Structure 1
């Protein structure tokens, strides 16, 4: 299992100047390497027997600039630009690895056939992190003794250790990051043991959750978590600070200070949202053995809709990622189901009851049940998840919290018994 811990560091002014200089040099190298890749792509975008109406190669076509090619050119880079000799070789390699990963995600579709956006050239001060491949290794450039990080070309930098490294975990990599309120170091921690999931036969409690904008989430038992509206509450303050920054001369010291105030407010909002997500996720995982939720296309929901700002504010996708991470540590099942007709079908009898988004109450004309729209959807989500796992039980009745759900198989039929 791999986790990460982030700590704030307190470099002195000389160390800050050196970190910022390294980040600027890495940014320039990123842009050069990206330009080299795009130039090669434009030169080789058509076959030999076809002429491109966009561009055609002049002279010899260069070698394909993949990671290995660009990494091999680092020695030549240090000869042409001596300032790069100060930066560790592994730091420059990691910078190229990040570029190569972004490049591959753009060109090669993932398992779902989705491709990510093209890597972008980075503007000034937009590359904010540099990473080390090894920590506390005899040949490692960075070491951590529990109170400070020691880098031979930086010296000792104090670390605010607000939580200890978990016992049994080994520090694998380290990343120095520049943020709005200072500098941080993030350690990647590895433990060979992997938490095992709770066996299906031992699942005692299960919950279906339906996320929304009226309530952040609604469970199949009718419990709700309110929407915090963190961005909406800070919107007026953010607009005021952005207006103050716009009135400053671009590039001046006052402009930089005003921009930093805007960045700090954005950082505060993001941290509030992250804290809310983690607290909600831990509460759900602590109380249930199985969590059912919808596999939503959040970008599709936010596209071309007046609710896009509210959808991005609640950040369902970030919450679901954190919920998955917390559930893995505790061995809890997280089952994603298709959202098709979860709000339209009746959770009691299965009858389809069409309703628009403005209708917030589910009233079934067939069985007569009346429920909140989101609660009905949460019940349908739980029913779908239980069927996928192999537990057949109506979400209306819920699971018995004191006895495990056990499935007995007979010759011609399957019966669910609780005992």
Structure 2
């Protein structure tokens, strides 16, 4: 299992100036290396026995540019530009590895046939982090103790360790990140022990969740979590700050100060949302052994008129955090197809079409009446339980036996219980 711990660091003025210089030099190196790759791609986009009808560069075709060729050129870079001698070689290599990953994501599709966007040239200030490949290794250039990090070039830098790293975890990499309110170090720790997931026969409680905008989420037991409109609450303040920025002279000190105020506002929104997501995720994991949710196409939903509200609640980020917390705690986390979960009746399976404005599910066949989000959450739970064959006794309406019973009519006017075993 790999975990990342983020701690704030407090460098002095000389150390902070060194960070700024490194980030700027690494940004220039990123742009030069990316330009090499794009130039090689432009020169080799056509076969050697034919030419492009629009334009074709004339000149010698260089060898293929990749990570290994660019890594071997680092010695020549330090000769031509002596400032790069102050940067550790492994930091420059990690910078090239990051570019290589972005390049491959653009050219090579993944298992689903999707590709990432083309890597971009970075403007001044856009490269905001650099990494070390080893920590506390005998040959590592950076060391981490209980309350500081140390390198030969910087000396000791105080670290605010608000949460200790668990015993048994071995530090692997370190990344220095520049944020709106200062510098942080992200330490990646690895442990060979993986939390064992709860055996199917030991699952005692299960829940399905349905995310929405009226309520952030609704569980199959009728519990709800209210929506926090974090961005929508601060958008007017943010708009005023951005109008002030537009009236400043670009590049002036007042422009930079106003730009920092806007960055701090965005950081406040991000941290508030992150804290809310993690608290909600831990609340679910503490109470249930089996959690089921919908595998939503959030990018598609964000193209609708409700895009701002959907992006504000950030369903995708929440589900990622919920899955990470569940895996860490050994709790089942299952995603199911959202097809039919809102329309189908959780009691009899009859399709009841409804528009988004209709908030109540009323089935004409079995006379079931309940909140539409709770009905969808029950359907999500039923799908997940059937998919994995969990041995929980379900009522005919799809809910757990200890939940609220719902009547279903049968030919003999009896109530039945279904068992997946």
Q: TM-score range by the shorter chain?
A: over 0.9
Alpha-carbon separation, structure 2, partners of 1:31 and 1:191:
36
1:225 CA drift (Å):
0.5
1:4 CA drift (Å):
0.6
Q: 1:54 to 1:202 in 2, by over 3 A?
A: farther
Look up the SS of the partner of 2:138 in the other structure: coil
Alpha-carbon separation, structure 2, partners of 1:268 and 1:260:
12
Q: Paired residue for 2:295?
A: 295
**Per-residue deviation, residues 255-292 of structure 1 (Å, max 9, x unmatched):** 10100000001001000000000000001111111110
Q: 1:55 to 1:72 in 2, by over 3 A?
A: farther
- 1:265-414 alignment to 2 at 5 Å? 265-303=265-303, 305-391=304-390, 393-394=394-395, 396=397, 398-399=399-400
Look up the SS of the partner of 2:100 in the other structure: helix
1:49 CA drift (Å):
3.2
- 1:227-242 alignment to 2 at 5 Å? 227-242=227-242
Q: Paired residue for 2:406?
A: none
Query: Contact conserved, 1:362 with 1:370, CA < 8 A, in 2?
Result: yes
Look up the SS of the partner of 2:63 in the other structure: coil
- Normalised to the residue count of structure 1, the TM-score between the two structures is 0.94
1:149 CA drift (Å):
0.5
Q: Paired residue for 1:410?
A: none
Look up the SS of the partner of 2:62 in the other structure: coil
Q: Which runs of 5+ in 1 are unaligned?
A: 403-414
Alpha-carbon separation, structure 1, partners of 2:72 and 2:395:
61
- 1:30-45 alignment to 2 at 5 Å? 30-45=30-45
- 1:5-404 alignment to 2 at 5 Å? 5-303=5-303, 305-391=304-390, 393-394=394-395, 396=397, 398-399=399-400
Alpha-carbon separation, structure 2, partners of 1:397 and 1:106:
44
Look up the SS of the partner of 2:112 in the other structure: coil
1:201 CA drift (Å):
1.2
**Per-residue deviation, residues 51-71 of structure 1 (Å, max 9, x unmatched):** 213432322211111111111
Alpha-carbon separation, structure 2, partners of 1:307 and 1:257:
33
Alpha-carbon separation, structure 2, partners of 1:326 and 1:93:
32
Alpha-carbon separation, structure 2, partners of 1:357 and 1:129:
43
Look up the SS of the partner of 2:185 in the other structure: strand
Alpha-carbon separation, structure 2, partners of 1:32 and 1:326:
40
Alpha-carbon separation, structure 1, partners of 2:242 and 2:250:
13
Structure 2 residue 416 is matched with structure 1 residue 416: no
Greater shift, 106-115 or 332-341, is seen at 106-115
Query: Contact conserved, 1:43 with 1:55, CA < 8 A, in 2?
Result: no
Alpha-carbon separation, structure 2, partners of 1:59 and 1:14:
46
Query: Contact conserved, 1:205 with 1:401, CA < 8 A, in 2?
Result: no
1:399 CA drift (Å):
3.3
1:398 CA drift (Å):
3.3
**Per-residue deviation, residues 149-190 of structure 1 (Å, max 9, x unmatched):** 101111111111111111111111100000000000010011
**Per-residue deviation, residues 287-317 of structure 1 (Å, max 9, x unmatched):** 11111001011111112x1111111100111
Alpha-carbon separation, structure 1, partners of 2:270 and 2:5:
17
Q: What RMSD, in angstroms, separates the aligned Cα atoms of the two structures?
A: 1.5
Q: 1:350 to 1:38 in 2, by over 3 A?
A: same
Alpha-carbon separation, structure 1, partners of 2:396 and 2:267:
40
Q: 1:55 to 1:69 in 2, by over 3 A?
A: farther
Query: Contact conserved, 2:220 with 2:378, CA < 8 A, in 1?
Result: yes
Query: Contact conserved, 2:361 with 2:369, CA < 8 A, in 1?
Result: yes
